[in-house]
A and B are shown apart, each in its own frame.
Chain A
Amino acid sequence: MITTPLIRFADVSKVYHLESGDFTALDHITLDIDDNEFVAIMGPSGSGKSTMMNQLGILDVPTSGELFISGRNVASLTALERTHMRRDTIGYIFQKFYLIPLLSAYENVEYPLILKYKKRDESGKAAAVLQSVGFDEAMRAHRPNQLSGGQQQRVAIARALVNDPKILLCDEPTGNLDRKTGHQIMDILCGLHAEGKTVVIVTHDPKIAEYANRTITLEDGRIAA
C-alpha cells in the first residue's frame, strides 16, 4: 500500500489570463511534502511563491495538474468543502497578521472554533492555546490595533492552531517584526514542528529559511533547487 504524502503537487500549473497575455505563475510543479516536515519556500518576487501559497492554502485551484492535500484532490472539492478544509486542515499565519479588527485578541482565537462548532467556546481551548504561544493574559480583551506586532503575531499563531490543523502555512511570518521578536516567533513555530505539525514557510530571508529541514527555491514558477 502506497501512503500518499500530506501534500502532493502532481504536475501543477497555474496560468493567469491577463490582458497583456497569459502569465504562467506555476509551471508544471511536482512536489511532495510529508507529514511533519518543516519546509521553507524561497525565491525572488514574481517567482511564484505567493501563487504556491494560495494553492497550498486551498484559496485557489490549479489550472492544470492535480494537487492533493491530506489525500484529497483539491480541484474535485466543492466550494463549501474547500472552505471547511481551510478551516479544519490548515492554519494560516500571515506577514500582516490579518487579525479581525472588530474582535478582541481572545475572540480572534475563538473565532475558528465558532466556525467549526457553530457555538461559543466553552472548553477553554482558545484561552489555553493563547497562553501556549506566550500571549499576555492581561491583554486578551484588547483589539488587534492595541497590540504590538509580536503580540499580534502570537494571536495569529494561536488562531491558526486552535482547530488543530495538520498544516501550518506561514507567509513571511517575521516580515513585519523586529529581529528579536522574529526569532521568538520562529522558536514557537519550531516548537510546533517538534510537536508534530507540518510547517510550510514562505520567506526571502535565508536566516529564517535556516530553521527549516528542507528549502525549496522557486524561479519563474519552477523549482530551481
Chain B
Amino acid sequence: MKDIFFDLSVRSVRLNLLRSILASIGIVIGVVAISSMGMLGTNMQLQVKDQLSSGADTIVITADAVRMGPPGSGPTSSSSSATGISKTQLNKIKLAAGSTSKIIPIDSTNTEFTLLSTSGRSSVYGINPDDITKFLTISNGTNIEGINDALAGSTIATNFNLKIGSRIRIGKDTEESRPVVRIVGILAERGMSSDNVNTDNAIVVSNDWYTNQYGGKDTYSQVNVIVKDINTITDVETAIDAKLNTDTKKPAVKISDASSRISSISSSLSSITAFILAIGGISLLVAAMSIFNVMMMSVNERIQEIGILLSIGTEKGEVRRMFLYEAVILGILGAGIGGLGSLIIGYSVVSYMIGTTESFFLPESIMYIPIGMAFGLLVCILSGVYPAWRASNMDPIDALRSE
C-alpha cells in the first residue's frame, strides 16, 4: 500500500529541500563522528591487544617496589640482595612453576654506547644465551656464542645501521672501562611487549657478560616464567605467590602477566573510546536540535494545511504519522549518507592515526557504522515526536484561521 501520508511527507521534504538537506547534514556529521570515533577507539584497542597477547603465556616476576633496597643502590652494587630476584627466590620459583614451564632470569639496565663516533642510548638485557631463543626470535645472524657477542634490537639496528659484525662500545664516554661487543645477530621486531622485555631498542648480551660488567651475580631484574598451558597460568601464579610472598603484608615479589596488563590497558583505552564517543554524541545532540527546529518550522508553516486535514476528518494519529515520516525521511537521509561517510572517513582516520587498517573490517570495529546510523535515525525520530504531537493536537478551527 502506498501511504498518502508518506507521499505528503516526501513532498514536504522536497518542497523545502535545501532546509531539509542542511538539517540532515547535522545528522551526517553526528553519525560520522560517532562511527569514526568508535572505530578509531576499537581499532586502537584491537591493535594493542594483538601486540600484548603475544606474551600472554608469560608471567613476569619482579622484586616488589617497596623492597628495592636502600636509596642510591643501583644495578652496579652487587652486594645488595634486595635489588632484584635472588638466587634463592629463583630456585623457589623453579620449584613452584614446575618442570614444564620455562624459567628465564633476565637482567636489564640502561646505558649509553658508541658506534664509531655516533653515540646512543639503549637498554641492555643480560640473558643466558640458551634462554634467548626460548622467547626471542633472531631474524638475521646467529645466537650469542662468545663472551663478547651481542644481539641488537630491530629498531636500534635500523637507526644505527648495525650489521652482523658491527662493533659497539658500551658505556658512557667518561667511563674508563668501555668494553666492545660484536653484533652477531639482529632480533625480529617485537613491538610493545607484555613481558617487560622490549628488545626493539635494546642490546642483548649474555648473562655472564652482564654480570662481569655490572655485577649483581645471582640477582636478576626480573624472572619470566613461560607456562606450557596458558590455562594453568593462574595456578602457577598462585603457587609462586604462596612460595615467595610468605609475608602477605610485605610481599617480596610482584607477579604479573599479560592478561592483567591487557585488562588495565584495555580499560584505559575503553575510557578514551567512551570519551571520544561522547564528543561524537554531542554533535548528534546539536543535530537533534536542528532537526527539531526544522520540524517545528515545517509544522508552523503548515498550520492551515493541518487545519484542513483535521477538519475534513483526518485522525490525529494520521497527522502525527505524517510528521514522524518527515523526521524519519530526514533521519534516513542523514544516517544513510553518514554511514557511507563513516566508511570513508573512518577508514582514513584509522589508517592515518593507527597506521594499519587490518582490524577495520572486524565486526567489533565495523559495527560502529550501523550503531552510529541507528543513533542518528533515533535522534531524528525523537526530535520529531514533539512537533508531530503539536501538529496533531491543534484545534482545527484555529489552525484553519491561521494564514
Interface size bracket, B side: 20 to 34
**Nearest chain-B residue to A51 (Cβ)?**
B397
- Interface 1/0 per residue, B301-324 and A, CB below 8 Å: 000110111111111101000000
Q: Given B12, B311, B314, B318, which contacts A59 in the complex, CB threshold below 8 Å?
A: B311
A215–B39 Cα distance when bound, in Å, is 76
Report chain A residues within 8 Å CB of B305. 100-102
- Interface 1/0 per residue, B12-26 and A, CB below 8 Å: 100100000000000
- Assess whether A87 is in contact with B397, with CB atoms less than 8 Å apart: no
B393 to chain A, nearest CB (A): 10
**Nearest chain-A residue to B14 (Cβ)?**
A102
Residue A103 is within 8 A (CB to CB) of chain B in the complex: yes
Residue A2 is within 8 A (CB to CB) of chain B in the complex: no
Report chain B residues within 8 Å CB of A85. 313
The interface residues of chain A, by DSSP majority, are classed as: helix
- Assess whether B312 is in contact with A92, with CB atoms less than 8 Å apart: yes
- Assess whether A86 is in contact with B311, with CB atoms less than 8 Å apart: yes
- Assess whether A103 is in contact with B316, with CB atoms less than 8 Å apart: no
Residue B2 is within 8 A (CB to CB) of chain A in the complex: yes
- Assess whether A57 is in contact with B313, with CB atoms less than 8 Å apart: no
B313 to chain A, nearest CB (A): 3
- Assess whether B313 is in contact with A102, with CB atoms less than 8 Å apart: no
- Interface 1/0 per residue, B193-221 and A, CB below 8 Å: 00000000000000000000000000000
- Assess whether B312 is in contact with A112, with CB atoms less than 8 Å apart: yes
Q: Given B12, B308, B314, which contacts A83 in the complex, CB threshold below 8 Å?
A: B314
- Assess whether B308 is in contact with A120, with CB atoms less than 8 Å apart: no
- Assess whether A100 is in contact with B309, with CB atoms less than 8 Å apart: yes
Q: Given A83, A98, A101, which contacts B315 in the complex, CB threshold below 8 Å?
A: A83
- Interface 1/0 per residue, A101-118 and B, CB below 8 Å: 111000100111011100
Report chain B residues within 8 Å CB of A60. 397
- Assess whether B12 is in contact with A115, with CB atoms less than 8 Å apart: no
B306 to chain A, nearest CB (A): 10
The interface residues of chain B, by DSSP majority, are classed as: helix
Interface size bracket, A side: 20 to 34
A119–B2 Cα distance when bound, in Å, is 8
- Assess whether A120 is in contact with B1, with CB atoms less than 8 Å apart: yes
A99–B318 Cα distance when bound, in Å, is 18
Report chain B residues within 8 Å CB of A115. 312-315, 318
B356 to chain A, nearest CB (A): 51
Q: Given B12, B15, B314, B316, which contacts A79 in the complex, CB threshold below 8 Å?
A: B316
Report chain A residues within 8 Å CB of B400. 94, 98
CB neighbors of B among A56-86 (8 A): 57, 59-60, 79-80, 83-86
11 new A-B pairs (CB below 8 Å) besides A84-B313, A98-B400, A114-B4?
A80-B316, A83-B314, A94-B400, A98-B308, A98-B311, A102-B12, A110-B4, A111-B4, A111-B312, A119-B1, A120-B2
- Chain A interface (Cβ within 8 Å of chain B)? 54, 57, 59-60, 79-80, 83-88, 92, 94, 98-103, 107, 110-112, 114-116, 119-120, 159
Show 24 A/B contacts (Cβ-Cβ < 8 Å), sorted by A: A60-B397, A83-B310, A83-B313, A83-B315, A85-B313, A86-B312, A87-B312, A87-B313, A98-B307, A98-B308, A98-B311, A98-B400, A99-B308, A100-B305, A100-B308, A101-B305, A102-B11, A102-B12, A107-B4, A111-B4, A112-B313, A115-B315, A116-B313, A120-B2
- Chain B interface (Cβ within 8 Å of chain A)? 1-2, 4, 8, 11-12, 15, 304-305, 307-316, 318, 396-397, 400
* Across the A-B interface, the 9 shortest Cβ-Cβ residue pairs: A87-B313, A86-B313, A102-B11, A98-B308, A114-B4, A59-B397, A59-B396, A83-B315, A102-B8
